[in-house]
Each structure stands twice: as C-alpha cells, then as structure tokens.
Amino acid sequence: MKYTKEHEWLRVEGDLVVVGITEHAATQLGDVVFIELPEIETMVAEGDEVAVIESVKAASDIAAPMDGEIVAVNDKLVEKPGLVNADPMTAWFFKMRVDDLSVLDDFMDEDEYQDMIG
Amino acid sequence: MTEESPNLRRLPLHGIHLRLGARMVPFAGWEMPVQYPAGVMKEHLHTRAAAGLFDVSHMGQLLLRPRSDMAALGAAFERLMPVDVLGLAPGRQRYGMLTTDTGGILDDLMFANRGDHLFVVVNAACASQDTAHLRAHLADVAEVVAVEDRGLLALQGPAAEAALSRLIPAAAAMRFMDLISADWRGHDLWISRSGYTGEDGYEISVPVLVIEAFTESLLAMPDVAPIGLGARDSLRLEAGLCLYGHDIDTTTSPIEAGLGWAIQKARRPGGARAGGFAGAERILAELADGPRRLRVGLRPEGRAPMREGTDLFTPDGTPVGRVTSGGFGPSVEAPVAMAYVAAAHAAPGTQLLGEVRGKRLPVTVVPLPFRPSTYKR
C-alpha cells in the first residue's frame, strides 16, 4: 500500500492502481454525504480533479495521483457515500491503468505516511 | 489539530470540550467546538431524537437597564428595530433585528423583558458593534451592560424538557418564548424556552462560576449529548432559520428575508406605533408592495449539496439569485439550501438551475422550513 500527500491510498491490483482515501482523511472530512466519480475510459493527468467528495461540512476534490486511464469506478459509493466513513480502506473510488507501475515507488509507504500525519 | 491562536477567546467550558474530544475551530473570534467524536450527522440526529447541549457562550449577552423607566427604554429601542418592544410582557422573550437607516439588518437578536430591565442576546460576530450601536442610540434612556460573568447554553430536542426539569422543576411549565429566573445551588439562572434548531428546548444563561458543574449535571443524563457548531448549522438550516452574515446582512431587508412575521401589528401601517424605526421607508414600502427578491428554500433534485455562493438560473439561463446557506440535511436525508431569488421566481414549485462545479443542476423552490418546528406554544 502506498500513500499520497493528499491522503489517498494506492493499492496495486494486477496491472491497475486502485485509489481511495485514508482513514485520517475520512475522519477529517466527517460524514460523507455525496460522491461524484469520473467517467470510465477517461485519460487523466496527474493532479487533475477527477472525483468530488462532500461531507456535511465541505466539498473537496480528489486528484488523479498520476497520469493514466480511469478504467473502473465504485458506483456503490454514489448510492451509499457513508461507506467511506464506515470502512475507508475498502471503499475504493476508482481504478487506473498506468504505463509503468514503478511510478508507485515515488509515493510514501505506511511508515512515512504515519509520520506525515503525526 | 488545535493550533495556538493567542487572539482567540476561550469558552468557560473549554476544558470540558477538550475532555469530550471536541475538534476546536476559530469562529467569530472564539475557539469553538465544531464537532465531537460522534460527528455532525449523529449529533444532528441525536438533537432531533433526544436532547443536544450546545455551548453558545460566545454569543453576546447584554442588559439594557433603564435610567428612568422601561417605557422610555422601550420607545427608544423601537426606533432601532421594526419590532413591538413596549408590548412585550414581563417574563416574555421576542425575536428582533437591528436595522440600518437603509432598511438592511445590522444583526438579529433575542430580547426579553425581565421586569425592570431588558436582556438581549446577540450574535458573537456582531456583539461589539451592537453594543456600540445600542450605547450610541440608547445613552439617554438606558445603561448598556455587557454581561461578562455568564456563559450561555442551549438544550434542544424532544427530551430537553424532561432533562432540564430534573434540575429546574419550573422549566416544565414554561411555554415557547417564556423567560424565568431560577435558582440552582444558590446561583441565578436565566432560562428561556427558545433556541435555534427548530426543536423545543431552552437557552440557559449560567454564571461562569457554576457553568461547569451545571453542564456536567446535564451531560450525566443519558438523553443529553454535547453538540458542536457543525450540527447547530445543519439544524438551523433545516429549520429555515437565518444565519447572520450569510442569509441576512446589511444589504438584506427583513421583508426580503421573510422575517415580516417579526414585525408586529403595532409597528405596521395602522398600528399604534407604526413606522418610526431605522429603515422604515424601505421596509414599509416592501411590506406594502412586495420586495424585489425573497429568501426561499431550495431542494436540489440530485444528491449534490448546493453550498453558499451557488449561482441560480432560470431554465432558459437568466441569472435569478444565489444560495446563501446550503448543505446536507441529515433529518431531511437530502441536500437543502436557502437562497435569495428574484420575486418573480420565488413561488414554491418554481424550477431553477444551480451551478455546481460548472454544471447546472435542477433545483426546486420549496416553502421553509424544511422540517416543521416542535415549539411548545
């Protein structure tokens, strides 16, 4: 499992990268009430705002952690946004196909992420 | 999470909030609990189902002590508000708003007749400005005293009566907008049957000396849970109540804001003391002819909340207004919002579009409140 500075977790599944938000992020956001997911088969660039997550308090964006193609989205979250609070580590948002999985080496591991959130 | 903010004022219950695990945020110059570990959604629903305890000690508590008699004070106060002050009986509270000379709203407030003086509660962000305004205009008739040795609690929800009555038996017999003094362990509490959640409940002015002990006595009851500012906002939004600085300000008139119900007959044309208040020209004209724009309720059709600042359009693309408060209503189980829209588009049932992240999404004008109030009238 890898982590971004924006509090996303990244999990490799075959040749895909699965993206979700961390428990820390879910706790900070509070109760999630709305999620908008990207279209599948969309090419995205690192930093593109691809999903929207709204809690009772505020709206925030989820950015693509790397260049690639969105190949799957978790429609269950649209129906039940509260899944993100219930179990953030299994509530994945989207899956990306990337050219080279070695880009994951640039992201934080568990220990580094835990250090960052202190 | 809490950053050192030396300029922020601390609530008398600061230690209790930290012990309860509150997330503290800056608000109107105070360090305030925005939520506890239960979270906004559960806190909101708990208030509607049982009883929520809110620390609203940041709000300004003022006493207006007449220099000669209450009638002179009432008459002078009526020049600052389009509200019947003289007709308010002892032991009763009323909603009011200080108006500008051009008919906008300087602040909204609650005032109560405590027999030989008036007790006023104003918004935290406006407190120092309000105090100066009242001192400037009431100097000849009243001493304006800022109450510094009391905190303010709100206990709201269907279990509030039973909970407070265990400590203060006289609370049970109070009606909506009654205000009493009651003894608790030798200290004088000022209790009104009112609040800002749409629920039955109380606001309790408590001497700082005993506010921790009084709070612990309430929190020890199984029905009572601490509730933060986050849920206070979603509760008042569902109740269709205005938040100063968002839904009302110096540019919005009481009539545009849908607060005409707070202007009693005595202050309206044909009334005993019609007009004669700041901004009367605009306010009475809007009362007679209708305002250009109106505060309305909105129900977005999808699940996407429409937050403050969302621009509104007719289906053919004409701009007609803007959202002033919006979010998710936990009891309504859907997004809800309040907005000002041009009067021609303010009728319930009107279909509009709200622009969220570049997309124009359908929204329907609906009557306020989103949830009926449960006041004990």
Whether A6 is in a domain gets the answer yes
Smallest CA-to-CA distance from A37 within A51, A26, A48, A19 is with A51
Q: Any CB–CB contact under 8 A between B189 and chain A?
A: no
Q: How far is A102 from chain B (nearest CA, A)?
A: 33
* Nearest residue on chain B to A57, alpha-carbon basis: B230
CA B340 to CA B342: how far, in whole Å?
7
User: Percentage of chain B surpassing pLDDT 70?
Assistant: 98
* Residue of B42, B305, B357 with shortest CB distance to A33: B305
Whether A114 is in a domain gets the answer no
Q: How far is A27 from chain B (nearest CA, A)?
A: 9
Whether A38 is in a domain gets the answer yes
Smallest CA-to-CA distance from A74 within A47, A94, A103 is with A94
Strands B51-55 and B224-226 come out as parallel
User: pLDDT (tens digit, 9 = 90+) per residue, B130-189?
Assistant: 999 999 999 999 999 999 999 999 999 999 999 999 999 999 999 999 999 999 999 999
* Nearest residue on chain A to B44, alpha-carbon basis: A56
Which residues pair with residue B329 across a beta bridge? B334
CB pairs A-B closer than 8 Å: 46
Task: Give the domains, in start order, of chain B with CATH numbers.
Answer: 1-291 (3.30.1360.120), 292-371+373-377 (2.40.30.110)
**Residue A72 corresponds to which amino acid?**
A
Whether A86 is in a domain gets the answer yes
Chain A hits for B335, Cβ within 8 Å: 33-34
* Nearest residue on chain B to A79, alpha-carbon basis: B303
Domain that holds residue A93: 2-98
Q: Any CB–CB contact under 8 A between B328 and chain A?
A: yes
Whole-number Cα distances in Å, B171 to B55, B167, B203, B218, B286: 19, 9, 11, 14, 39
User: pLDDT (tens digit, 9 = 90+) per residue, B91-121?
Assistant: 999 999 999 999 999 999 999 999 999 999 9
Whether A25 is in a domain gets the answer yes
User: pLDDT (tens digit, 9 = 90+) per residue, B326-341?
Assistant: 999 999 999 999 999 9
- pLDDT given at position B1: 41
* Residue of A30, A31, A59 with shortest CB distance to B307: A59
Which run of H or E residues covers position B136? Answer: helix B127-138
User: pLDDT (tens digit, 9 = 90+) per residue, B266-303?
Assistant: 999 999 999 999 999 999 999 999 999 999 999 999 89
Band of residue B257 on the pLDDT scale cut at 50, 70, 90: very high
* Residue of B35, B305, B357 with shortest CB distance to A30: B35
Between B72 and A58, the higher pLDDT residue: B72
Whether A112 is in a domain gets the answer no
- pLDDT given at position B2: 45
CA B280 to CA B352: how far, in whole Å?
32
Which residues pair with residue A97 across a beta bridge? A16, A69
**Considering its fold, how many domains does chain A have in total?**
1
B203 is in an annotated binding site: yes
Q: Any CB–CB contact under 8 A between A1 and chain B?
A: no
B residues 13-72 closer than 8 Å to A (CB): 34-35, 39-42, 44
Q: Any CB–CB contact under 8 A between B230 and chain A?
A: yes
Contact yes or no for A56 and B307 at CB 8 A: no
User: pLDDT (tens digit, 9 = 90+) per residue, B186-237?
Assistant: 999 999 999 999 999 999 999 999 999 999 999 999 999 999 999 999 999 9
Looking up residue A40, the CATH number of its domain turns out to be 2.40.50.100
3-state secondary structure of B24: strand
